[in-house]
Amino acid sequence: MAKAAWVFPGQGSQAIGMGTDLATVSLAQERFAEAESVLGWSVLDVTQDPDDKVSNTLYTQPCLYVIESILTDLLKAQGHRPAVVAGHSLGEYVALYAAGVFDFAAGLALVQRRAELMDQASDGMMAALLGFDADELNAKIEATPGVVLANDNNPGQVVISGTPAAVTAVMEGVKAKRAVKLNVSGAFHSPLMAEAAAAFEQVLNPVPFANAQVPVLSNVDPTPAVDAMVLKQRLVQQMTGSVRWREITLALPELGIDTVVEVGPGNVLAGLTKRTCRDLALSNVGNLAQVEGFSG
């Protein structure tokens, strides 16, 4: 029997129309209604907006959380359970929900506030680099004040984050097959998010966390943990800390994991995983048909 890790994608995996097919299921209908009472707006209205409203950070993060949580609930309703969970940036909140750390509404309220604070962080810039020499890149980052490695996704893909001048200097100073500025509002996962992170910590502190029902591999620390306070502290650090996704992926086989199930729209994490650990079996559950066809 497969021993599966469920992983949850973050910002960048959203798509117009995502989640629409779920609206025919009563469990999903209840979740969408609960989400509207928390958010004050309809997730399905946003995801179906032809002007790509869903790609605005204010809406992207809550919409992904809601849809990925519904997919999780539907999988669990069929009797499926993960052995380990992890989520990429925003996806870590769904991982914590899937592990029973907080309830749906509590997680959604946190995600909505996180999105608001990140959207307001207008200073800074992020860029993705593909096909580079890791030693050259690390040396250039170390020699350039104001820029950090924000997402260590796999051996051939990273995201850097920092001041526009510093990010541009690294992009121009390192040989890469591709270097692309990201369309985001700020320098996420960098020290430039410190003010937003401090504000978010005040929101996060009073929220009750339970011990996780399955181990969680966090973005800032890829070692498995179930202790509520440890998981909360890692979440506090997440907004300014690097997403260590390559290390999370490498940890999975050591935990006996043989299958990675990406729960959410698209297949970004499956692609990253394939580049890092070729022996892991990959599966995607991003819509109702894939839920119904999932065999575990």
Active-site positions? 89, 189
What is the distance between the alpha carbons of residues 209 and 101, in angstroms, rounded to a whole number?
5
What is the distance between the alpha carbons of residues 11 and 15, in angstroms, rounded to a whole number?
10
